[in-house]
Structure 1
Amino acid sequence: MRGTGREKYVGPLLPARPVASTFADMFSIPALNPALAPAIQHKIDHKTKPLGALGQLEGLARQICLIQQTLTPTLHQPHLLVFAADHGIAREGVSKYPPEVTYQMVLNFVQNGAAINVFCRQHGITLKILDAGVAGSFADYPTVIDQKIAPGTRSFLHEPAMTAQECTRALEAGAAVVREVAATGCNVLGCGEMGIGNTSAATLLMHRFTGLPLAECLGRGTGLDDAQLRHKAAVLAAAAETHAHLTEPLDILAACGGFELVQMAGAMLQAAALGMVVLVDGFIATAALLAAARLHPEVLAYCVFCHQSDEAGHARLLAHLGAWPLLQLGLRLGEGTGCALAYPLLLAAVGFLTEMASFESAGVSQAVTPPAV
Structure 2
Amino acid sequence: MSPNQPPVSFDEIRALLKELPGPDEAAADLALARQEQLTKPSGSLGRLEEIAVWLARWQGRASPGMERPRTAVFVANHGIAAKGVSAYPQEVTQQMVQNFVHGGAAVNQLCSVADADLRVYEMALEKPTGDISEGPAMLEDDCARAIAYGLMAVEEGFDAMALGEMGIGNTTAASAVCLALFGGAADDWVGRGTGLDDAGLKRKTALVEQAVAVNRDRLSDPLSILCALGGQELAAIVGAILAARLARTPILLDGFVSTAAAAIVHKLVPGGLDHCLVAHRSAEHAHGRLVEELGKVPLLDLDMRLGEGSGATLAFLLLKAAVACHNGMATFDQAAVSRRSRDN
Give the TM-score normalised by structure 1: 0.86
Give the match for residue 186 of structure 1: 158
Give the match for residue 145 of structure 1: none
Deviations 1:223-281 (A, max 9, x none): 11111111111111111111223221111100000111111110111011110011110
Give the match for residue 138 of structure 2: 162
Deviations 1:95-123 (A, max 9, x none): 11111111111111111111111111222
Aligned mates of 1:153, 1:88 — CA distance in 2: 5
Give the match for residue 112 of structure 1: 103
Distance change >3 Å, CA 59–CA 212, structure 1 → 2: farther
Greater Rg, structure 1 or structure 2? 1
Distance change >3 Å, CA 21–CA 230, structure 1 → 2: closer
Question: Given the alignment of the two structures, is residue 74 of structure 1 paired with residue 47 of structure 2, yes or no?
Answer: no
Question: Given the alignment of the two structures, is residue 99 of structure 1 paired with residue 71 of structure 2, yes or no?
Answer: no
Give the match for residue 61 of structure 1: 52
Give the match for residue 14 of structure 2: 24
Aligned mates of 2:187, 2:100 — CA distance in 1: 33
Superposition deviation, residue 342 in structure 1: 0.7
Structure 1 unmatched ranges of 5 or more: 1-15, 136-150
- The one-letter amino acid paired with 2:69 is P
Give the match for residue 131 of structure 1: 122
Give the match for residue 237 of structure 1: 209
Question: Given the alignment of the two structures, is residue 251 of structure 1 paired with residue 224 of structure 2, yes or no?
Answer: yes
- The one-letter amino acid paired with 2:16 is M
- The one-letter amino acid paired with 2:73 is V
- The one-letter amino acid paired with 1:159 is G
Give the match for residue 3 of structure 2: none
Question: Given the alignment of the two structures, is residue 301 of structure 1 paired with residue 250 of structure 2, yes or no?
Answer: no
Distance change >3 Å, CA 17–CA 34, structure 1 → 2: closer
RMSD: 1.7
- The one-letter amino acid paired with 2:213 is E
Aligned mates of 1:248, 1:242 — CA distance in 2: 16
Give the match for residue 282 of structure 1: 255
Distance change >3 Å, CA 103–CA 316, structure 1 → 2: same
Secondary structure at the counterpart of residue 370 of structure 1: coil
Give the match for residue 307 of structure 2: 334
Aligned mates of 1:205, 1:275 — CA distance in 2: 27
- The one-letter amino acid paired with 2:261 is A
What number of residue pairs does the alignment pair up? 337
Moved more, 322-331 or 71-80: 71-80
Deviations 1:127-176 (A, max 9, x none): 111111312xxxxxxxxxxxxxxx11010111100000000000001101
Give the match for residue 345 of structure 1: 318
Superposition deviation, residue 17 in structure 1: 7.7
Q: Is the 8 A contact 1:132 1:263 kept in 2?
A: no
The percentage of counterpart residues that share the same residue type is: 39
Superposition deviation, residue 334 in structure 1: 0.3
Q: 1:226 aligns with which of 191, 195, 198?
A: 198
Superposition deviation, residue 195 in structure 1: 0.3
- The one-letter amino acid paired with 2:330 is A
Q: Is the 8 A contact 1:76 1:188 kept in 2?
A: no
Question: Given the alignment of the two structures, is residue 197 of structure 1 paired with residue 151 of structure 2, yes or no?
Answer: no
